[in-house]
Amino acid sequence: MNHPTSSDSSLASTAEVDQVLERLLEDRQIEAIERLIEETSPADLARAISRLDEASRGQIVDLVGAESAADLVQQIPHVQAVQLLGEAQPDHAAAVVDELPSDLQTDLISDLQSDDAADVLSHMQPSEAADVQQLSQYDRLQAGGLMATELLRYPMSWTIEQVVEDLRGGADKYRDYEIQYAYVVDDQDRLQGVLRLRDLLLGDRQRNLRDIMIGNPLSVDVAVKLEELHGLLQEHSFLGIPVTDTAGRLLGVVQRRDVDEAWIEQQDKSFLRRQGIVSGEEIRSLPLWQRSRGRLLWLSLNIVLNLLAAAIISHFESTLAAAIALTAFLPIISDMSGCSGNQAVAVSIRELMLGLVKPGDVGRVWLKEISVGLMNGAAVGILLGVIAWVWKGNLILGAVIGVALTLNTIVAVSIGGVIPLLLRGMGRDPAVASGPLLTTVTDMCGFFLVLSLASSLIEYL
């Protein structure tokens, strides 16, 4: 296929995938469902599943074979996979999880409700369940939680010939492994070197691994965090990094792909949190109460923050009553300052992500922001001031609005530029808390500037 598209499944070409899937589930056409899973693109599958009702969704895992269901679970988004397994019979869910690589097993089990998780674990094959128990001691966002234990491991004394024989003999077992490297260990199972397939291919078959391996390879401790792994993989072009315990024993391998996936998932969560989905997770097929709760948490906090700024307006009610034309400009001051501040927040978050600034660079960032703040503050201040003057026919009113917006823009970019660095310095996610902090302060400050300026010039307004 030369131009593969998401709609090249033969089954899906006649009708929407979700309608096909729903009909097949009703008719319990197991083989056809399995074929659909195999032939449909992950996006179409995910979309079709999100359109089913809960009862039909639960059936999928219960009906189709474990291998096919495992294939499905690996293709759809994580949150959906968790939902699917949670709604299935525990023994069927367990059979599916048995088929998955160890890191994914652990991810899924740890995100199930705790009694569902225990149910599924109790139905899994004992050795697989033990693997999960073992891995679930690590955080999902650590090397231990991200690594797969399936890897090629050979003693230093072996020859290339022996490795090739082993690979040939184990073709079945290795088929699903992501083999980029083979790892060489000593008799204590401590990592000593790494072999690229290329070295095995080009080397003399009689040579010992000890002589052709790349010694003293890069490895990470099982406790290393996702952020550091991501940094290492940006720095080096390796496809995977071996993971060791504190004694240097080889435990597993983190694949670049899994790190990237976890990284993107983190970014996604942080995006949702930043936009006020406090739980960091919502898809619309989740139950209504769960969606509503995840959003309400932030909305109620936001009311409190907003009341702080409202208190300032309320304090100046007599000024406003005397110069009612000002009221139309209060939301503009609030919104414009929020925008300027958010621009600075965005650049700081980006520079933090790229490693261009560190929490200690607060002073430097502040100077850079003040210069932009002066320019842009003056520009928007003059613009809005002139508009206010012309619209309301009052020069002083225009001046009050213009000066207040200029000053508040400088305040906003200062806070916006600096706050992400301070939050990062305190070990918090700057993406989430920067916005609310920024707008609360700039609203309060902006309303105060406009209204105190206005009240001191009230006889001219």
Q: How far apart are CA 278 and CA 67, in angstroms?
A: 35
x/- track of binding to a copy of itself for residues 159-188 (CB under 8 A) = -----x--xx--x------xxx--------
Query: CB of 114: closest distance to a copy of itself in angstroms?
Result: 26
- Which strand (E) or helix (H) includes residue 155? strand 152-155
Query: CB of 318: closest distance to a copy of itself in angstroms?
Result: 8
Q: Which residue has the tokens 């008719």?
A: 27
x/- track of binding to a copy of itself for residues 50-69 (CB under 8 A) = xx------------------
Query: CB of 379: closest distance to a copy of itself in angstroms?
Result: 6
Interaction with a copy of itself in 81-140: which residues (CB under 8 A)?
none
Q: To the nearest 10°, the Cα dihedral for 143, 147, 152, 158?
A: 20
**Residue 443 touches a copy of itself, criterion: CB under 8 A:** yes
Contact residue for a copy of itself among 53, 115, 172, 235 (CB under 8 A): 235
Q: In what order do the strands lie in the sheet with 191-196?
A: 152-155, 181-185, 191-196, 214-215
**Residue 237 touches a copy of itself, criterion: CB under 8 A:** yes
Asked if 29 and 36 touch (Cβ cutoff 8 Å), the reply is no
Query: CB of 171: closest distance to a copy of itself in angstroms?
Result: 8
Rounded alpha-carbon distances, angstroms, from residue 453 to 306, 308, 444: 22, 19, 14
Please, which residue, 391 or 460, has the CB nearer to a copy of itself?
391
Query: CB of 360: closest distance to a copy of itself in angstroms?
Result: 9
How is residue 102 written in tokens?
Answer: 């160890």
Please, which residue, 5 or 127, has the CB nearer to a copy of itself?
5
Residue type, 457: L
> 259, exposed or middle or buried, with CB in 10 Å at 0-12, 13-18, 19+?
buried
Contact residue for a copy of itself among 57, 92, 256, 424 (CB under 8 A): 256
x/- track of binding to a copy of itself for residues 377-406 (CB under 8 A) = --xx--xx--x---x---------------
Query: CB of 127: closest distance to a copy of itself in angstroms?
Result: 25
**Residue 227 touches a copy of itself, criterion: CB under 8 A:** no
Interaction with a copy of itself in 25-54: which residues (CB under 8 A)?
41-44, 46-47, 50-51
**Residue 303 touches a copy of itself, criterion: CB under 8 A:** yes
How is residue 290 written in tokens?
Answer: 């769960």
**Residue 439 touches a copy of itself, criterion: CB under 8 A:** yes
Contact residue for a copy of itself among 94, 108, 309, 437 (CB under 8 A): 309
Q: Which of 406, 345, 401, 343 has the alpha carbon at shortest distance from 380?
A: 406
Asked if 58 and 116 touch (Cβ cutoff 8 Å), the reply is no
> 352, exposed or middle or buried, with CB in 10 Å at 0-12, 13-18, 19+?
buried
Interaction with a copy of itself in 317-356: which residues (CB under 8 A)?
317, 320-321, 324-325, 327-332, 334-336, 339-340, 342-343, 345-347, 349-351, 353-356
Q: How far apart are CA 158 and CA 211, in angstroms?
A: 10
Contact residue for a copy of itself among 118, 214, 311, 390 (CB under 8 A): 311
Q: How far apart are CA 398 and CA 382, in angstroms?
A: 9
DSSP code at position 183: E
Please count the residues of this chain forming the interface with a copy of itself, following the rule CB under 8 A: 122
**Residue 376 touches a copy of itself, criterion: CB under 8 A:** yes
Q: How far apart are CA 372 and CA 377, in angstroms?
A: 8
Query: CB of 218: closest distance to a copy of itself in angstroms?
Result: 7
Query: CB of 54: closest distance to a copy of itself in angstroms?
Result: 14
Residue type, 306: N
Query: CB of 158: closest distance to a copy of itself in angstroms?
Result: 15
Handedness of CA 250, 253, 259, 262 (dihedral sign): negative
